[in-house]
Amino acid sequence: MHIGIAVLLGVFIVNFVAQITIVNGSSMEKTLHDGDRLIIEKISPRFGNIKRGDIVTIDDPIKLSNDTRPIIKRVIGVEGDRVQIRDGKVFVNGEELKEDYINGDYTYEVNEQYSDVTVEKGHIYVLGDNRLMGMSKDSRTIGTASLEYVTGKALLRFYPFNKIGSF
Catalytic positions, please? 27, 73
How far is it, in rounded angstroms, from Cα 40 to Cα 23? 11
Contact 138, 163 (CB under 8 A): no
In this structure, how many other beta carbons lie within 10 angstroms of the beta carbon of residue 13? Answer: 12
Query: DSSP characters for 50-103?
Result: --TT-EEEE--TT-SSSSSSPEEEEEEEETT-EEEEETTEEEETTEE---TTSB
81 to 40, 131, 144: CA distances (angstroms): 25, 20, 11
| Separation between Cα atoms, residue 15 and residue 118, nearest integer Å | 32
